[in-house]
Structure 1
Amino acid sequence: MKALPQDIVIVGGGTAYWMSACYLARAIELSQTNVKAPAPQITLLESADISTVGVGEGSTPYLRYFFDYLGVTEDAWMQHCNATYKMGISFEKWTSAGDSYFHPFFSALDMPTADMYFSAVNKRRHGYAEDVNPSHYFTAAHMVNEGISPQAVSSSANLDYAYHFDAGLLGDFLKHYAKQKGVCHKIGTVQDIAANGQNIDHIVLHDGEVLKAELFVDCSGFRGLLGKQALARTFTSYADTLFNDAAVAIPSVAVAQPTKALQTRSIALKHGWQWHIPLTNRT
């Protein structure tokens, strides 16, 4: 078995930064079972001068597996983060005719009807008049229409679902988890990075402190302090084809019954689109 790096430094901030720390801390914890060697040290370096992006409050079902890996239950984190369940995404008015459709998350319950759906799609492609509305084939669409929460369905049904959550509160929750696992949180701004080829040797902070590690993780977002800047890795821009390059977050009042709002809404507008993401305390 390959030895774990003894020193790990994560540079950046925000949810990705804390998720990386929690994942690595949990992996180390599991690997250290019945091992007497000292556990690797994880240090998170966060700048007090650089803010995080702070957008994005709807997940895919993979977030469930992340928390399962950490050993964290839904009861433990969802209430803290004002989270709600998400069964899929409603795409509204995305054609000139104003058509809408619901994109469901696929579950084991859908195996028989999913085959029917894909068969209908293939026939439709060949000119046959088939029903290809996914809402007529998948369990998630029915649950959204009826306001049925995943909590109301037996765990043996093996549903696939996701969440809406407050990203800032999720960061706070993960920060607490990481610190409980022994992660060191350091506030400081990177002044210089010493790299040798495609390997980073150490980081120098504004106050002159030097951080060395066997493994560096870059969570610095668009700046790409380690990968894009220090290691000069190529960044491929799509600015010539991505015409929407800004997002505006506008909190509004919460829906009356969060359990009835089990979907993210994506509403097409003349210049871009609007996300409608329901939390327990706001939308």
Structure 2
Amino acid sequence: MEWKAQNKTHQILTAAEKGGYGVVAPIAYNIECIIAFVRAAERKRSPLILQFFPWAITFSDGLLIHAAAHAARSASVPIAIHLDHAQDEELIRMAADALPFDSIMVDMSHHEMDENLAKTAELVRYCHERQITTEAEPGRIEGGEDGIADTADLEGALTTEEQVARFVATGIDFLAPAVGNVHGEYGAEGPRLDWERLEMVRRECAKNDVRVVLHGTNSFPEDVMKRCIKGGVSKVNVNKLVLDDYLVHLQKEAPKMSLTAAMEKSVADIQRLVEWQMDVCGSSGRA
């Protein structure tokens, strides 16, 4: 598919895999997030994948996505716009048709495997027809996030070699494996990842020109993050990891400040942590 060479997410992650670094992919909830993410990318001269949960589409009637796309087009570094954990089939089709996404995660993990695969293949075709690259999740990463179905009622499962092959066969471009990572918080022991399983995923994906994505990075120490990237991860989803200071600010400082001052402090707090993760993931200076 020649169009993929012009797809922004595909370009960014192909360069990351070749360069041996990871690209930070934070979740935006508001205009402060968008401004902070883009400023961090500009300051660090880093590529960026700016992500939204489906909630942002319904909450803002798509306005936040258009704002992010405008910021991406105006930036001097490569920035892609991605829809993360899209679980509603009609919303995926609407987003592919009407909103400026470069890539969409087709997340059918709330279905049993055969149905998951069938729905994924159908929606991947739909997105590809509109020159949008796709991501999917084999295995089952336990837990839930904002507006995303919790898989607690389904058995968590680590990604197998067979699952990698079956998901790759749907035509996906990026794969987010379950290798011991979870959505949400880790216990006192922190993340305990299956490094051999990650290596298997990397090996099988490389055979099919598919990039590896890391989900569930809350509270990841720097050494664990770096080992994941060394293990072949190109796209690094981050959420609370880069919003911790901002959330503390909202609770403790913002109520005592003027609205404009509180917003400016919000951007600074978010930008600082995103810049930190760009350094950790090795993408600083790569744009």
Q: TM-score scaled by structure 2?
A: 0.24
